[in-house]
């Protein structure tokens, strides 16, 4: 496909500098009309920056963008949308205080003949779009009340409503579980039938290879190569991305488990006003020192809620018993959990994770500041040393600890948050989909780091929307379906198939709710 079609977009010697960083350096390649063109590269390679230039978010750069052969210069996203270019951002971009429908039609509100906002018409149109995406949330629900996966579908609905000719998707599946990813693929298929050109960013090689006509690799802001999908392999792409071989090694070899550190008995979480009545029902398990316990399940199964209950972060009060090192615990606030030695990395870094107005260094040290102060250290020196160490340890790509957190690429922000919690030296580390949006190389580093932490006696509970990841790192895997525990597998007996079967068990209605 790729080569024979005429280019709809030509990127010509595009360079973008930020203070201290060259995000894009002399990048040139073409995108064919109607093709699905994937952009691959490590965290910080420049993928999102390039897409932001294409959709009018970034307006100052060197070089040229040609649309159907003519140079264009977008002054804002509105101009890009008028030119037929829409984007679904990596960091969700909804106004949380507005309804799903209002978000979809933001800036293009429908009005009645009297000039009033026509909420009914907008909600009807939104319902139609959302139904097309097989998304079953109410159009009048506040965007902020939706979970990440549904928010993402609202953004896609917005792009659909704009009837974009060129649709940019920046890691659209990173918050979705398997069933929802399949649903998105069906949407993409329908868009392609309408000859929509799709620029697709993903760190997941399986989906890049399933969807793409062509693949462009960026590394350190430079264009490395553009290849026909049929003529390359995941191995080659990964190699071009990182410029070295990645060794995942045998992470779990002879790791020894210690005493039970966390015990959960008959945990239930009420769900007031909901037909199912319980978000979680009668969950029991034990976690040992040095163990990685994987939690699998579809979106809505209760994975996040389970971690939130342990961390004292759930909205409703859980029932049942939890013990930490044999002592009963019932945290009412995450700060109590933190003091007791529990840390949690949340799935939605924008809403719950990063402090957008602070620097990289402050974001890393924010949870440990008082520890430094209490131990009588000069806060700044020790803080700086441990922050610097963490930045190096996790290979966070940043101009320095003083840089604004918002200047980091998505994956590097995620590494920053993980680093923050590691500095608290927790007994139990709760990781809610921690590698979402993290590139292959950094993922391998994180797996190694998790393994190392376990060897030091930390216990980890991990959820992931990627089954291969759970199978790679977990000692044991629990499967949740609609708030109940439906299976438990040892690492040796677990397979993707068995997990998927348990995850959809008893679910006549597997829709995410
Ligand atoms: N607003 C900004 N200010 C300063 N530097 C920035 C800004 N936006 C991006 N950068 C830097 O530009 C480089 C490229 O970032 P970009 O977000 O394009 O990476 P990416 O390839 O999308 O990575 P990821 O896979 O992590 O999303 C990074 O070094 C990043 O820190
Ligand atoms: Mg990005």
In a domain, 60, yes or no: yes
- Alpha-carbon gap, residue 272 to 283, rounded angstroms: 18
- For 220-362, strand residue ranges (E) read 222-228, 260-270, 278-288, 292-296, 319-324, 327-328, 342-345
* Sheet of 36-40, strand order: 85-88, 166-170, 197-201, 36-40, 214-219, 222-228
- Domain of residue 135: give its range: 97-156
In a domain, 89, yes or no: no
**Mean of all residue pLDDT scores within the chain:** 87
- Crossing angle of helices 119-132 and 148-161, rounded to 10°: 110
Picking from 443, 349, 357, 410, the residue whose alpha carbon sits closest to that of residue 48 is 410
Q: What is the pLDDT of residues 306-316, one digit of tens each?
A: 999 999 999 89
Residue nearest to atom 25 of ligand 1 (CA): 43
Tokens 């629990």 correspond to what residue? 478
Residue 125 pLDDT: 93
Average pLDDT over residues 145-149: 78
Q: Count other C-beta atoms under 10 Å from residue 28's C-beta.
A: 13
- Report residue 70 CA to chain centroid gap: 35
* Percent over 70 (pLDDT), the chain: 91
* Percent over 90 (pLDDT), the chain: 49
Between 90-94, 161-165, 231-235, 481-485, the lowest mean confidence (pLDDT) is in: 90-94
pLDDT at 376 over 60: no
Average pLDDT over residues 274-295: 93
Specify whether 311 is located in the same domain as 280.
Answer: yes
**To test the ligand 1 pocket, which listed residue (14, 16, 17, 18) has its Cβ within 8 A of the most ligand atoms?**
18
Residue 507 pLDDT: 53
Tokens 């979480």 correspond to what residue? 269
The answer to whether 408 and 359 are in contact (CB under 8 A) is no
pLDDT at 509 over 50: no
Secondary structure element (H or E) that encloses residue 126, with its range: helix 119-132
Specify whether 288 is located in the same domain as 327.
Answer: yes
Tokens of 34: 């109607």
Specify whether 263 is located in the same domain as 311.
Answer: yes
In a domain, 446, yes or no: no
- Alpha-carbon gap, residue 293 to 477, rounded angstroms: 6
Residue nearest to atom 8 of ligand 1 (CA): 407
In a domain, 251, yes or no: no
DSSP structure string for 147-216: -HHHHHHHHHHHHHHTT-SEEEEESTTTT--HHHHHHHHHHHHHHHHTT-EEEEE-S-HHHHHHH-SEEE
Tokens of 65: 């963008």
Give 324's strand partners.
Answer: 262, 327
What's the CA-to-centroid distance between 44 and ligand 2, angstroms?
A: 7
Tokens of 44: 């910080």
Tokens of 59: 């307006």
Number of structural domains found in the chain: 4
Secondary structure element (H or E) that encloses residue 14, with its range: strand 7-18
Last residue of a domain, one of 134, 156, 178: 156
Burial 157-187 (b: 16+ CB within 10 A, else e): bbbbbbebbbbbbbbbbbbbbbbbbebbeeb
Give 265's strand partners.
Answer: 321
In a domain, 477, yes or no: yes
Specify whether 487 is located in the same domain as 413.
Answer: no
- Alpha-carbon gap, residue 205 to 329, rounded angstroms: 41
- Alpha-carbon gap, residue 468 to 505, rounded angstroms: 20
In a domain, 443, yes or no: no
Average pLDDT over residues 323-334: 94
Q: Is the dihedral of CA 413, 417, 423, 427 positive or negative?
A: negative
Burial of 506 (0-12, 13-18, 19+ CB in 10 A): exposed
Average pLDDT over residues 247-274: 84
Q: What is the pLDDT of residues 194-220, one digit of tens each?
A: 899 999 999 888 899 999 999 999 999
- Alpha-carbon gap, residue 412 to 397, rounded angstroms: 6
Tokens of 61: 């750069």
Specify whether 74 is located in the same domain as 202.
Answer: yes
Residue nearest to atom 18 of ligand 1 (CA): 46
Residues 6+ apart with CB under 8 A from 68: 8
Tokens of 266: 């008959």
Measured from CB, residues less than 6 Å from any atom of ligand 1 are 18, 21, 23, 41, 43-49, 90, 397, 407-412, 439
Specify whether 76 is located in the same domain as 169.
Answer: yes
Residue 465 pLDDT: 77
Specify whether 76 is located in the same domain as 170.
Answer: yes
Residue 176 pLDDT: 72
Last residue of a domain, one of 242, 266, 285: 242
Residue nearest to atom 29 of ligand 1 (CA): 44
Q: Count other C-beta atoms under 10 Å from residue 191's C-beta.
A: 19
Specify whether 77 is located in the same domain as 185.
Answer: yes
pTM: 0.74
Specify whether 76 is located in the same domain as 118.
Answer: no
Q: Residue 471 maps to which CATH number?
A: 3.40.50.300
Number of the ligand 1 atom closest to the C-alpha atom of 412: 26
Last residue of a domain, one of 156, 175, 205: 156
Tokens of 80: 């890009």
Specify whether 469 is located in the same domain as 406.
Answer: no
Residue 249 pLDDT: 57
The bound ligand whose nearest atom lies closest to the alpha carbon of 411 is: 1
Specify whether 329 is located in the same domain as 270.
Answer: yes
In a domain, 444, yes or no: no
In a domain, 331, yes or no: yes
- Alpha-carbon gap, residue 283 to 301, rounded angstroms: 12
What's the CA-to-centroid distance between 507 and ligand 1, angstroms?
A: 41
Q: What is the pLDDT of residues 168-193, one digit of tens each?
A: 999 888 767 677 788 889 889 988 99
What's the CA-to-centroid distance between 408 and ligand 1, angstroms?
A: 5
Specify whether 220 is located in the same domain as 106.
Answer: no
């Amino acid at each position: 496909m790729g080569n024979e079609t005429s280019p709809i977009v030509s990127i010509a010697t595009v360079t973008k500098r930020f203070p201290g960083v060259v995000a894009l350096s002399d990048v040139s390649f073409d995108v064919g009309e109607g093709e699905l063109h994937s952009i691959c590269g490590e965290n910080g390679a420049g993928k999102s920056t390039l897409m932001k230039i294409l959709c009018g978010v970034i307006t100052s750069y060197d070089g040229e963008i040609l649309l159907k052969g003519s140079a264009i210069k977008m002054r804002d996203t509105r101009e890009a949308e008028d030119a037929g270019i829409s984007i679904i951002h990596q960091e969700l971009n909804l106004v949380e205080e507005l309804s799903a429908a209002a978000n979809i039609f933001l800036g293009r509100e429908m009005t009645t003949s009297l000039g009033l906002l026509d909420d009914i018409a907008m909600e009807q149109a939104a319902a139609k779009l959302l139904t097309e995406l097989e998304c079953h949330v109410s159009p009048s629900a506040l965007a902020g009340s939706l979970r990440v996966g549904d928010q993402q579908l609202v953004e896609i609905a917005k792009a659909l409503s704009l009837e974009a000719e060129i649709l940019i998707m920046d890691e659209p599946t990173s918050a979705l579980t398997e069933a929802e990813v399949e649903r998105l693929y069906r949407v993409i298929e329908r868009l392609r039938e309408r000859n929509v050109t799709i620029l697709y960013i993903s760190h997941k090689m399986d989906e890049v290879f399933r969807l793409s006509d062509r693949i462009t690799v960026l590394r350190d802001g430079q264009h490395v190569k553009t290849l026909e999908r049929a003529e390359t392999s995941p191995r080659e792409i990964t190699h071009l991305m990182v410029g070295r071989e990645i060794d995942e090694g045998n992470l779990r070899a002879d790791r020894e488990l210690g005493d039970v550190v966390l015990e959960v008995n008959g945990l239930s979480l009420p769900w007031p006003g909901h037909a199912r009545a319980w978000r979680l029902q009668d969950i029991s398990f034990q976690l040992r020192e040095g163990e990685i316990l994987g939690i699998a399940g579809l979106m809505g199964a209760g994975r996040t809620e389970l971690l939130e209950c342990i961390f004292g972060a759930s909205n409703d009060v859980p029932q049942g018993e939890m013990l930490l090192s044999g002592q009963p615990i019932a945290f009412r606030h995450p700060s109590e959990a933190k003091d007791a030695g529990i840390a949690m990395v949340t799935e939605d870094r924008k809403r719950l994770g990063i402090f957008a107005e602070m620097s990289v260094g402050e974001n890393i040290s924010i949870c440990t500041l008082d520890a430094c102060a209490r131990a009588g250290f000069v806060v700044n020196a020790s803080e700086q040393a441990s922050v610097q160490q963490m930045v190096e340890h996790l290979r966070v790509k940043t101009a320095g600890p003083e840089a604004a957190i918002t200047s980091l690429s998505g994956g590097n922000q995620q590494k920053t948050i993980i680093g923050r919690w590691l500095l608290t030296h927790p007994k139990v580390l709760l990781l809610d989909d921690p590698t979402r949006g993290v590139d292959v190389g950094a993922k391998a580093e994180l797996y190694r780091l998790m393994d190392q932490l376990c060897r030091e006696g930390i216990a980890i509970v991990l959820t992931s929307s990627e089954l291969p990841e759970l199978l790679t790192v977990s000692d044991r895997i629990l499967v949740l379906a609609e708030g109940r525990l439906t299976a438990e597998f040892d690492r040796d007996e677990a397979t993707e198939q068995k997990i998927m079967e348990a995850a959809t068990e008893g679910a006549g209605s597997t829709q995410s709710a």
